[in-house]
Chain A
Amino acid sequence: KNEVEQSPQNLTAQEGEFITINCSYSVGISALHWLQQHPGGGIVSLFMLSSGKKKHGRLIATINIQEKHSSLHITASHPRDSAVYICAVVDGGSQGNLIFGKGTKLSVKP
């Protein structure tokens, strides 16, 4: 069983829709990252969370430490949001290494 599970694996949305990507993890963590990777591109860190909620523009990330769950929301989605979104947790039991989910591929149609 993977230690970090993301859902859905693939997501297609129409421009303007509200999008939610989920991440569940089974290990104790120090922090959680949401990462974005555009096709053929490198990885950009969107958020780092250890509790509560963070907002940046149209992106909102929440985490519930007790339930070991995090969500990434995109409001008023746009085709330029099309990318792979990766959840990664900082393993609290190790030397702080990242454990990655397999990613959610988002495609936003105009």
Chain B
Amino acid sequence: DVKVTQSSRYLVKRTGEKVFLECVQDMDHENMFWYRQDPGLGLRLIYFSYDVKMKEKGDIPEGYSVSREKKERFSLILESASTNQTSMYLCASSLWKSYGYTFGSGTRLTVV
């Protein structure tokens, strides 16, 4: 069964900590995406990547960075976590030039 796996379901971190959210897909997809989901705002794109070592900013990249050293893994990094980054984070992947997306189960991050 093909899937997108996010390493943590729930995470609690302190303000100022460096936080890594990991996403791994086993479908050999070229495209990978990080979104955050907030009540009333819906899903918003943070960063995406179309290939290894490539990254593009989405709509709300401030305060985040990403890393894609291998095709199957796309990491979201919060350099210095802040309380306004408390949110649900969702990873997704898709094939190049395909319209089908597969989503991970999400990581609910709380920054205290």
> Which residues from chain A sit less than 8 Å from chain B, CB to CB?
30-31, 33, 35, 40-45, 48, 50, 86, 88, 90, 95-98, 100-103
In the bound complex, residues from chain B placing their C-beta under 8 Å from that of A30 are 99
**CB–CB B101/A33 < 8 A:** yes
Candidates A42, A48, A103; contact of B106 at CB < 8 Å:
A42
Enumerate 18 A-B pairs (CB-CB under 8 Å) in ascending A order.
A30-B99, A33-B99, A42-B106, A44-B103, A45-B100, A45-B101, A45-B103, A48-B99, A50-B99, A90-B99, A96-B31, A96-B94, A96-B97, A96-B99, A97-B58, A98-B33, A98-B43, A101-B42
**CB–CB B42/A100 < 8 A:** yes
B61-112 interface (Cβ within 8 A of A): 90, 92, 94, 97-106, 108
Given contacts A35-B103, A96-B97, contact A42 B90 (CB under 8 A): yes
6 A-B pairs with the lowest CB-CB distances in the bound complex, closest first: A42-B105, A31-B99, A43-B103, A102-B42, A100-B43, A42-B106
Interface string of B27-44 (1 = CB under 8 A from A): 000010100000011111
Candidates A44, A45, A97, A102; contact of B40 at CB < 8 Å:
A102
The prevalent SS among residues of B at the interface is: strand
- Nearest Cβ distance between residue B34 and chain A, in whole angstroms? 12
**CB–CB B42/A103 < 8 A:** yes
Asked if B19 CB lies within 8 Å of chain A CBs, one says: no
Candidates B41, B90, B100; contact of A43 at CB < 8 Å:
B90
In the bound complex, residues from chain B placing their C-beta under 8 Å from that of A95 are 50
Expressed in whole angstroms, the Cα–Cα distance for A27 and B87 within the complex equals: 28
Minimal Cβ-Cβ distance residue in A for B95: A96
Asked if B45 CB lies within 8 Å of chain A CBs, one says: yes
In the bound complex, residues from chain A placing their C-beta under 8 Å from that of B108 are 40
- Nearest Cβ distance between residue A8 and chain B, in whole angstroms? 15
**CB–CB B101/A86 < 8 A:** no
Minimal Cβ-Cβ distance residue in A for B45: A97
**CB–CB A97/B42 < 8 A:** no
